[in-house]
């Protein structure tokens, strides 16, 4: 269920909350208006600082970006934003009716969709004719490549149930929230209306949620009387033109302004930056699900990408039989094994059955411990080890080589089953890409290729580990 593309507004003499109807690779570059104001000049005019070597580049493959027009030494300030420039959802917006409607609507947004809360404020400013932030907002992309805007076929093309679930959840939320917004504003007077009496639909809500999820940073917000600060998402004009890298050359820091209690937000060079280098920030060590859902891109060979599986006894029995384990106990664990499963929160009413493969951990510690324990027959031997050792892949076969190899082989069999669940093979996906497809189909296919690659990498790694253990075992027997 994709949110339909933006509808045309019929309102005049206002800032319409509409967008382009079709998204192509080049439309992701297009801005809300054809020739938006110069963002660098605006930031300087409003009291911010922009290093003279910082320029906006419009010819990158990742949309607009910032580049250095000459070398910049490490530690240099690149951009400094005073407190008035970031766009936040704050108390300082006053206590008028329009703001209180916005606050009430924001309270109805679930926490994990925090981007929608700030999105309401962004939409309000987008609709406001004399918004202070118009020079910034008009420079925002017109469309986003996040999957809530994919056609149904491309959502299916993702082929990965946990992501399909998230996309459907977001689409359903936006469609319901559209009704919520309509009800909240239907009888309001022009002056009290948060969106200048414009129609807000699921598409415009989706636009603002995506603008925020792909550009906002979670920083320290308001200072509380006890001196601590609450975490607040904010949009950082110009700084948010930086694209992402896991090895960035810039970072964001917050500092108290010497002359006031207000915070300054700075982008600072973390490494020396060479002429023509892109200025890059790390958006976070995220898997491709989050990069695609929130930012609309996929990172090839992402070291943090992983696949999600459900811990299921019958499924694990099938996998371990396929791996050559005789009479596995996953669906009928002994009471002492069940106790371990409860300790791992893999059994019981409030169990969390989600486990992962890939990423930094390679095998979810809880899954590895469960496999080691359920494939063991000697309770005393298991009880000699603490849980951290049983969960750690770096622990050297804590329950013996045969147990360890059986655990690895079971995971490899799980991987084979998981791969078989994808309707296409990587070779077929690559062939589809070569034939030429739309931007969103390409993104969906790249996403699923990466998921399959994660599984294959886990299989390769565990096969290598099993071989190495078995060769150690043979050497020990011979010695
Ligand atoms: C904070 S904005 C950066 C500025 C943006 N490129 C623009 O045109 O306004 C984040 C967006 O930039 C793009 N982007 C950033 N880093 C990227 C990367 N490493 N690969 C692909 N797209 C990237 C994605 O569209 C993402 O949603």
Q: Do 352 and 214 fall into the same domain? A: no
Which mutation among 243, 290, 304 tests ligand 1's pocket best, with the greatest number of atoms within 8 A of CB?
A: 243
Of 255, 286, 317, the residue that ends a domain is 286
Q: Do 184 and 56 fall into the same domain? A: yes
In a domain, 33, yes or no: no
- C-alpha to C-alpha distance for 183 and 197, rounded to whole angstroms: 13
What is the pLDDT tens value at each position of the chain, 479 positions in all? 444 433 222 223 445 555 444 456 566 678 999 999 999 999 999 999 999 999 999 977 899 999 999 999 999 999 999 999 999 987 565 667 778 899 999 999 999 999 999 999 999 999 999 999 999 999 999 999 999 999 999 999 999 999 999 999 999 999 999 999 999 999 888 888 999 889 999 999 999 999 999 999 988 777 777 777 778 899 999 999 999 999 999 999 998 877 777 789 999 999 999 999 999 999 999 999 999 999 999 999 999 999 999 999 999 999 999 999 888 889 999 999 999 999 999 999 999 999 999 999 999 999 999 999 999 999 999 999 999 999 999 988 999 999 999 999 999 999 999 999 999 999 999 999 999 999 999 999 999 999 999 999 999 999 999 999 988 766 655 55
Of 252, 286, 320, the residue that ends a domain is 286
The residue whose CA has the least distance to atom 12 of ligand 1 is: 243
Of 258, 286, 314, the residue that ends a domain is 286
Domain of 458, in residue numbers: 306-478
In a domain, 32, yes or no: no
Q: Do 282 and 315 fall into the same domain? A: no
- C-alpha to C-alpha distance for 379 and 62, rounded to whole angstroms: 55
In a domain, 407, yes or no: yes
In a domain, 401, yes or no: yes
Spatial neighbors of 445 by CB under 8 A, at least 6 apart, are 157, 429, 432, 433, 437
Q: Do 464 and 329 fall into the same domain? A: yes
Q: Do 56 and 91 fall into the same domain? A: yes
Whichever domain contains 409, its CATH number is 3.90.1420.10
* Number of independent structural domains in the chain: 2
The residue whose CA has the least distance to atom 15 of ligand 1 is: 243
The pLDDT tens digits of the residues spanning 104-153 come to 999 999 999 999 999 999 999 999 999 999 999 999 999 999 999 999 99
Q: Do 85 and 218 fall into the same domain? A: yes
- Which residues surround ligand 1 with Cβ inside 6 Å? 62-65, 141, 214-215, 240-241, 243-244, 295-297
Whichever domain contains 198, its CATH number is 3.90.1410.10
Contact between 409 and 426 (Cβ < 8 Å): no
In a domain, 14, yes or no: no
Q: Do 223 and 274 fall into the same domain? A: yes
Q: Do 181 and 222 fall into the same domain? A: yes
ipTM exceeding the 0.90 mark: yes
The residue whose CA has the least distance to atom 20 of ligand 1 is: 62
Which mutation among 118, 214, 242, 292 tests ligand 1's pocket best, with the greatest number of atoms within 8 A of CB?
A: 214
Q: Return the ligand 1 atom nearest residue 245 CA.
A: 19
Q: Do 215 and 326 fall into the same domain? A: no
26, HSE (Cβ side, Cα atoms, 13 Å): 1
Q: Do 227 and 259 fall into the same domain? A: yes
Q: Do 319 and 264 fall into the same domain? A: no
In a domain, 91, yes or no: yes
The pLDDT tens digits of the residues spanning 172-194 come to 999 999 999 999 999 888 888 99
Spatial neighbors of 212 by CB under 8 A, at least 6 apart, are 115, 116, 118, 119, 122, 233, 235
Q: Do 253 and 381 fall into the same domain? A: no
In a domain, 322, yes or no: yes
CA of residue 62 to ligand 1 center, whole Å: 5
In a domain, 205, yes or no: yes
């Amino acid at each position: 269920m994709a949110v339909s593309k933006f509808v045309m507004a019929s309102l005049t003499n206002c800032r319409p909350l509409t967008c382009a109807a079709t998204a192509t690779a080049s439309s992701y570059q297009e801005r809300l208006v054809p020739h938006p104001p110069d963002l660098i000049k605006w930031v300087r005019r409003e009291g911010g600082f922009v290093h003279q070597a910082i320029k906006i580049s419009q010819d990158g493959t990742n949309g607009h970006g910032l580049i250095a027009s000459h070398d910049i030494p490490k530690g240099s300030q690149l951009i400094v934003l005073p407190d008035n420039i970031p766009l936040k959802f704050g108390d300082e917006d006053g206590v008028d009716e329009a703001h209180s409607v916005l606050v009430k609507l924001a309270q109805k947004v679930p926490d994990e969709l925090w981007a929608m809360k700030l999105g309401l404020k962004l939409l309000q400013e987008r609709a406001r004719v004399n918004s202070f932030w118009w020079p910034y907002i008009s420079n925002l992309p017109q469309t986003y490549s996040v999957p809530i805007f994919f056609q149904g076929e491309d959502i299916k093309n993702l082929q990965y149930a946990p992501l399909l679930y998230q996309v459907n959840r977001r689409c359903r939320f936006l469609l319901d929230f559209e009704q919520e917004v309509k009800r909240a504003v239907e009888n309001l007077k022009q002056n009290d209306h948060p969106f200048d009496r414009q129609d807000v639909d699921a598409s415009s809500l989706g636009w603002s949620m995506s603008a925020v999820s792909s550009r906002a940073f979670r920083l320290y917000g308001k200072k509380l009387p006890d001196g601590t600060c609450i975490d607040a998402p904010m949009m950082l004009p110009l700084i948010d033109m930086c694209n992402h890298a896991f090895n960035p050359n810039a970072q964001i820091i917050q500092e108290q302004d010497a002359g006031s209690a207000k915070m300054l937000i700075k982008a600072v060079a973390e490494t020396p930056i060479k002429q023509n280098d892109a200025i890059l920030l790390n958006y976070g060590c995220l898997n491709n699900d989050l990069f695609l859902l929130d930012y609309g891109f996929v990172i090839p060979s992402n070291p943090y990408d992983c696949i999600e599986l459900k811990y299921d006894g019958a499924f694990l029995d099938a996998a371990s039989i396929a791996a050559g384990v005789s009479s596995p106990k996953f669906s009928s664990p002994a009471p002492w094994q069940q106790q371990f499963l409860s300790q791992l929160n893999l059994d019981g009413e409030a169990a969390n059955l989600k486990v992962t493969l890939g990423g930094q951990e390679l095998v979810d510690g809880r899954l590895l411990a469960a496999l080691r324990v359920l494939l063991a027959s000697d309770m005393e031997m298991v009880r000699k080890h603490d849980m951290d050792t049983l969960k750690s892949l770096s622990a050297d076969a804590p329950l013996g080589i045969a147990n360890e190899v059986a655990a690895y082989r079971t995971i490899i069999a799980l991987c084979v089953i998981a791969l078989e669940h994808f309707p296409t093979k990587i070779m077929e996906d690559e062939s589809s890409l070569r034939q030429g497809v739309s931007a969103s189909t390409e993104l969906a296919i790249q996403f699923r290729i990466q998921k399959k690659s994660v599984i294959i990498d886990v299989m390769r790694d565990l096969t290598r580990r099993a071989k190495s253990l078995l060769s150690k075992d043979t050497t020990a027997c011979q010695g």
